[in-house]
Each structure stands twice: as C-alpha cells, then as structure tokens.
C-alpha cells in the first residue's frame, strides 16, 4: 500500500471519528472497506491519489463481485470509497470525483426478517426468573423489544439513561445522537426486579453501566448475542434469531398495529425516513399473506 494513500485514509478515518462523531463500529467498517480499495489500487499499479480514476473504482467493484461479495456489501464498499473521495476533494487533493459516474449496485428486494408477536412473547419469557442472570437477560430482552434498541445502544446504557418513573430510555445511536424512547410498564417492571439484583453485585458501586456481566463489567455485544440465541432455542423458535431481528420485529409490530411511520423513524433513530419505509413493505407482505390465507377467492 502506498504510504501517501495510507496516510490519507488514516486522516479520513480520524475525520469521520472526530468531526462527524461516527461510532467505532462504523469507523472500523470504513477502515476495512478502504483497506480493500487501497490494496486494489496497489495491484492496479496506482500509487498516487491523483491517479484514482472512474475506471479504478469500477474495476474495484468488479473485483468485489469476482470475490463473491454481494450487491449489498458492494454498495457499502462504494459508499466508503465515495465518502473518502469527497473528503479528498474538500482537502483539494483531488479536483474531480472519480465516483461521480459510478452507479450504486442494484440491491435485491430482501426484506427484514422478523419474529411474530407470539414468538417474541415466548422469547421474552424464556430467561429463568429464578436466577439473577435470567432476570438480567429478561430485563435486557424486554427493554430491547420495548424500545427497538440496537444491541450496541443496549450494552452501552448507563443507569442514568433510564427514567423508570416517566417510562423513558435515552439511547445514543449512530453519530452519538441522543433520542428519548418511551418504554412500557412490562419493561419497567423487569428493570425494577433486575436492579435489586444489580445493587447486590459486589462491583455495582464502581460502575455506571446498566447491565453488568458477572465480573462487573459492561456486557459485550457478542455475549448478549449468544444469550439471545440461547433463549431462542429454549423458547423453541426455529427461525434464525438475533438481537437485530428483535429491533426489526419492534418496528414491524408497531406499524402493524397502527403506529405512524414518522414516529417509528424517531424511535429507531433513522436519519432518513426511506430507511424506515422498508418496514412498510414487511407489513404489506404480512397483509398479503393473511389475505391469501383467509379470502375464499384469493
């Protein structure tokens, strides 16, 4: 990799981390995508940023396809490269955008996979309420479904982020943007039970994190993901289940029961309503299935 290109990528990653306030996970994704792009430039004999052309970007997408990268992932790679090139234009390293004429790879009509309401209720009831870890897991699952949180948002919650009296949780999403989300009485009740256990944890006084591991540290995303799989199996749920699927289910179930799209967008923390609109297609497909099942002339 060219030292000049390497330095500019590092500077861009610092820019999106500090100036734009992107989360570490997003910055790491940019870093991986741009490392692949830099490796492609090197194998193509391009050592100077000024030599990046539209053809170089297009051939990068072709290489991704030949490596088995799907359209959705390729589109993300292109977005990373496009942001990098626009930054180079702002810094006057480039005078023209090599991505300007590149079209985004066409994505399929894949819709978010969701759990039914009955499956969600079984999952929420699966943790063992007779054990402290089960009560913690139940509180986490209840809160995640009640507020539609991302798993990273859930694991980073502080004690002060939950107002149990008002029934509100403050989540910090992408770009460290804060949003307030209402939560129901059931989630609040589960939290109240868990907090009694938490107060008895030997290291609870030293941590402001809401959900603690047995060692007294914040629970990791990977650990919670494993706990969700464990409880999904215990609930007899056959379809693949993940924390993010619980977030998809939150949005879909709200829309199915009459919530307006703007409110769901606000609760999910989507900057663009088009991101939220995908759930309306899930609801429409659900309606079509019910029609075909129930209508005598379907």
Render pLDDT for 196-205 as a digit per residue (tens, 0 to 9).
999 998 888 8
CB 40 within 8 A of CB 60: yes
List the catalytic residue out of 122, 174, 201, 221.
174
Render pLDDT for 8-18 as a digit per residue (tens, 0 to 9).
999 999 999 88
Whether 136 is catalytic:
no
List the catalytic residue out of 63, 86, 179, 244.
244
Render pLDDT for 72-95 as a digit per residue (tens, 0 to 9).
888 899 999 999 999 999 999 999
Of the candidate ranges 68-77, 155-164, 288-297, the one whose mean pLDDT is the lowest:
288-297
275 in the same domain as 173: yes
Q: From the CB of residue 266, how many other CB atoms can be counted at a distance below 10 Å?
A: 15
Query: Of 143, 139, 117, nearest to 128 (Cα)?
Result: 139
Whether 270 is catalytic:
yes
Q: Which domain holds residue 13?
A: 3-90
259 in the same domain as 150: yes
List the catalytic residue out of 201, 221, 270, 286.
270
CATH number of the domain residue 260 falls in: 1.10.443.10
Whether 286 is catalytic:
no
Greatest mean pLDDT among 43-52, 174-183, 221-230 lies in: 221-230
Render pLDDT for 213-256 as a digit per residue (tens, 0 to 9).
988 889 999 999 999 999 999 999 998 899 989 999 998 888 88
150 in the same domain as 85: no
135 in the same domain as 51: no
Whether 150 is catalytic:
yes
180 in the same domain as 244: yes
287 in the same domain as 235: yes
pLDDT of residue 10: 93
pLDDT above 60: residue 298: no
Render pLDDT for 143-152 as a digit per residue (tens, 0 to 9).
999 999 999 9
CA distance 79 to 152: 22
Whether 257 is catalytic:
no
pLDDT above 80: residue 107: no
List the catalytic residue out of 77, 135, 150, 245.
150
Residue 105 lies in a domain: no
pLDDT of residue 140: 97
Instruction: Give the position of tokens 């030997």.
Output: 202
Query: Of 220, 225, 145, 248, nearest to 187 (Cα)?
Result: 145
Render pLDDT for 250-287 as a digit per residue (tens, 0 to 9).
988 888 888 888 888 888 888 777 777 677 666 666 65
Residue 110 lies in a domain: no
175 in the same domain as 31: no
258 in the same domain as 123: yes
Chain mean pLDDT for the chain? 87
Average pLDDT over residues 120-140: 96
Residue 173 lies in a domain: yes
**Strand partners of residue 209:** 158
Whether 174 is catalytic:
yes
pLDDT of residue 265: 87
List the catalytic residue out of 227, 247, 248, 253.
247
CB 149 within 8 A of CB 143: yes
């Amino acid at each position: 990799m060219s030292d000049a290109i390497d330095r500019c990528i590092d500077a861009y990653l610092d820019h999106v981390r500090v100036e734009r306030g992107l989360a570490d996970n997003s910055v790491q994704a940019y870093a991986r995508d741009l490392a692949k792009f830099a490796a492609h430039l090197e194998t193509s004999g391009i050592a100077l940023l000024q030599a990046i052309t539209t053809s170089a970007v297009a051939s990068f997408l072709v290489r991704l396809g030949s490596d088995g990268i799907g359209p959705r992932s390729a589109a993300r790679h292109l977005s990373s490269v496009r942001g990098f090139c626009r930054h180079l234009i702002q810094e006057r390293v480039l005078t023209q955008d090599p991505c300007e004429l590149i079209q985004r790879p066409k994505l399929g009509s894949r819709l978010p996979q969701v759990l039914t309401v009955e499956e969600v209720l079984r999952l929420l009831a699966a943790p063992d309420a007779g054990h402290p870890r089960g009560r913690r897991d139940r509180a986490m699952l209840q809160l995640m479904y009640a507020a539609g949180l991302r798993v990273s948002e859930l694991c980073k919650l502080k004690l002060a982020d939950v107002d149990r009296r008002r029934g509100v949780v403050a989540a910090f999403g992408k770009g460290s943007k804060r949003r307030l989300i209402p939560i129901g009485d059931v989630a609040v009740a589960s939290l109240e039970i868990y907090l009694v256990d938490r107060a008895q944890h030997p290291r609870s006084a030293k941590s402001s994190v809401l959900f603690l591991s047995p060692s007294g540290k914040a629970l990791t995303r990977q650990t919670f993901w494993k706990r969700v799989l464990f409880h999904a199996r215990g609930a007899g749920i056959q379809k693949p289940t993940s924390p993010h699927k619980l977030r998809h289910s939150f949005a879909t179930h709200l829309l199915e029961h009459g919530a307006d799209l703007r409110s769901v967008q606000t609760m999910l923390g989507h900057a663009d309503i088009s991101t939220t609109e995908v759930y309306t297609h899930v609801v429409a497909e659900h309606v079509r299935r019910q029609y075909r099942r129930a209508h005598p002339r379907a």
